[in-house]
Amino acid sequence: MRDIVGVMLHVLVSDAGQVLDPNVPLLHADDLGVLHGDGLFETMLMRDGLVRNLERHIDRLATSTAPAGLPPIDIAHVAELIEIAATEWRRRFDGEGALRVVYTRGREGGDRPTLYVTVSAVPSRVAEVRRDGIRAVTLPTAYRPGLAAEAPWLLAGVKSLSYAANVAALRHVQGLGVDDAIFVADDGSVLEGPRSSVVAVIEGVLVTPLRDDGILPGTTQAELFAHARTRGIPVDERRLHVDELFSAAEVWLLSSITVAARVHRLNGQDLPNQRKVIGVAAMLGVPPMS
């Protein structure tokens, strides 16, 4: 990584396409993204100078604006801002970057949304969990299957800036001495992680929970399933119960930045140690666990 030690690795691009000093304030104090979490975001991995899953991320952002009550985005403009930020990162830094698009309702009482793009260094923990896997626990939620369709104002399945509960869940489990969490509905069915999609390998099938149960459509999960189909590996999207995770050949948490982290311990119980059953990590370009 090329940079001066102690300097934050960060790129900031404004809605106007200007590369700004990331240490100079950008947002107004009354921006509704700050006051109420009223906005959307997408986080993408830059690897080998390229942005992974770019089209999937932009499409998800575009389809999320209507449920969130935000003005439609200009897809071509967002793609242009991303390219400016990615180019600046490639020019200044080596290695992986975490590229984030933020889109808020804008200032309180205003009529202009806020849009900007950042790129920063990938946290050091990412390489560790890719290599070593993770310990996770299940966390209960008040969600019940089918609630997303009945209560669209909950923004289930939308990548909203209202992320405080997810961050609180991560702090909670880290206080328990584990790495991550898996949210569970009130009937014991699996939902997702605070920052990830859940995929289990069950009898040779890649299984992920139903999206219509309020699951955020995962871009990395979609990429994995697309790779699997080209290899003739069966995939399924269905109701997945917690009990099934303990007998699954593999359990993975997939996300844009970590890409794939294998769950080797869940609720204090070691999970089956079958390696390379399907090759989830290899399909996504992640080094195997040590």
Domains and CATH numbers, the chain: 10-122 (3.30.470.10), 127-283 (3.20.10.10)
DSSP secondary structure letter of residue 69: T
At residue 221, the pLDDT reads 96
Write out the E strands in 14-168.
19-20, 39-47, 50-51, 97-104, 114-121, 134-140
* Residues with pLDDT less than 50, the chain: 1-7, 289-290
Question: What CA–CA distance (Å, rounded) separates 122 from 55?
Answer: 21
5: left (phi over 0), alpha (psi -120 to 50) or beta: beta
Q: Could you tell me which of 257, 97, 289, 266 has the C-alpha nearest to residue 179?
A: 266
At residue 287, the pLDDT reads 59
**Number of C-beta neighbours around residue 250 at 10 A:** 24
Question: What CA–CA distance (Å, rounded) separates 136 from 134?
Answer: 6
At residue 288, the pLDDT reads 53
Taking only the tens place, the pLDDT of each residue in 85-107 is: 999 999 988 889 999 999 999 99
CB 71, CB 145: distance < 8 Å: no
pTM as predicted: 0.91
The separation between the first and the last C-alpha atoms of the chain, rounded to the nearest angstrom, is: 24
Question: What CA–CA distance (Å, rounded) separates 175 from 194?
Answer: 15
What residues have CB less than 8 Å from 288, skipping those under 6 apart? 275, 276, 281, 282
At residue 274, the pLDDT reads 60
DSSP secondary structure letter of residue 185: -
SS3 18: coil
User: If you search the block for the tokens 């080998």, which residue do you land on?
Assistant: 48
